[in-house]
Each structure stands twice: as structure tokens, then as C-alpha cells.
Amino acid sequence: MEKEVVMITGASSGLGAALAKQYMSIGAHVCLVGRSRETLRTTIENDSKHYSIYEGDITDKSDVTRIVFQIEDEVGKVDMLINNAGVGFFGLAEDLSEPDLSTMIDVNVKGTIYCTQAILPEMKKRNKGTIVNIISTAGRLGKANESGYVASKFAVRGFTESLQAELAHTMIRVSGVYMGGMNTPFWEGILPVEKRELMMQPEDVAEIIVHNLQERRHVSVEEIVIKNKKPNK
């Protein structure tokens, strides 16, 4: 039986790296996509060898097409795409800079759409596949000092739900994952260490996602919501 091919963007750290390790541990071949080949290699060092590395820019549609063609040539058709790459810049709405806003829209929204466009035609030909968009709870509820980030995540939520409607008559599964803050490098320089230590661990979140997305006959998991547990006062 051929290995399942899983493509993960933003796989160099945090949840992306944790998901990569989870899928490798169950025998999938993981295609790690990110901006730095060296960072991706370091992340997976000493783990299973069932992976390949693809350096590129998901905000460049032609680069995404190149990466997917390379994956198909070297490994095979993508069975699962996990759109995990994301960036965030925070502060008051009136202080949000044009470069920061453009970066969030380019990475969070356009990157998700470009990667999906690149793999979808082959999934449709086979009438099989899974697309997973890592959205964050910022795609469900507005948050103070996160207006630009929230706007980008609401856009990804809209894209996800529209894709689910478009593919409802197929066997292609589309899932949106809405998780709270995790203790990852995403928050470095934004939150103090003591607050980050109270957050969920990416390894736990990855385990929950992988378990819930196991292919089951006649089952489609459209949403996964994972939140930090607040201690009772």
C-alpha cells in the first residue's frame, strides 16, 4: 500500500512541525513546505525519514505551482493538504501598518487559496483527498488589538466554508481547525514567558487534529474547535 502524502505549509516550527511528526509517526510521507530549507531540516532532525523538504514562498502562486509539481514528480499526488502557515501582527486598529496588513492577507489568505488551487484539480480527478485549514479561534470571534489578524482569519473561514459547499457532492473532505493560543514561537516578543507557559502545547493540539481527521466511512469532520482550558477561580 502506498504511503499517504501529506503536504504541510509553515512546517518549520510550532503546530506545523508537531503535525509533521504526528503524521510521520503513523507512516505518512510528509512534504514540509516553508521559506527556509535549513530550518525545516533542523525541525525534523532525528525523526522518521519519511519526509521531503520544499523551500518556497506560498504568497507567490507560481512558486506554489512549482512546489506541487515537484512533490507530484518526486513523491506522488497530494492526499492531504494542511494549510498551516500563518502570521500575525497586533495592536490598535488605527495603528495597523500597510506592510503588516499586506503580509497577513498574503500569507494567511492568499497562501491558503493558492495552495488549495494547486492541489484541488488532481483531488477532483481522483474524487479523493483532504484539505485542512488551520484557522484559529480568531476566525470565530473578534478580538481587541487583533483586528487585521482576525480579518484575515475570518476570510479563511469564509473560504473554507465556501469550499465545503463547492465540494459537498464529492468525496473530498474539507476541515477548518479553530484552536486557541499555543505555546509556540508565534508569540515570542508578544506575550511574556509566564503567559505562554499556560497555553496549550502544539503536540497536544496536533494529536487531537490527527485523531479527529482519521478517514472514516461516511464521516466528514467540518470543524474542530480546541481551546485553552481556563482554571476555576
Least confident of 43-47, 117-121, 151-155, 179-183: 43-47
90-121 tens-digit pLDDT:
999 999 999 999 999 999 999 999 999 999 99
What per-residue confidence (pLDDT) applies to 67?
97
Rg of the chain over all Cα atoms, to the nearest angstrom? 17
Judged against a pLDDT cut of 60, whether residue 78 lies above it is answered with: yes
| Active-site residue list | 149
Judged against a pLDDT cut of 60, whether residue 233 lies above it is answered with: no
* DSSP-assigned states of every residue in 67-117: HHHHHHHHT---SEEEE-------S-GGG--HHHHHHHIIIIIIHHHHHHH
Whole-angstrom distance, CA of residue 223 vs CA of residue 213: 10
- Do 83 and 183 contact (CB within 8 A), yes or no? no
- HSE-CB at 37 with a 13 A cutoff on CA atoms is 6
Whole-angstrom distance, CA of residue 94 vs CA of residue 188: 23
User: Which domains occur in the chain, in start order?
Assistant: 5-226 (3.40.50.720)
Residue type, 103: T
160-201 tens-digit pLDDT:
999 999 999 999 999 999 998 877 777 776 777 777 777 888
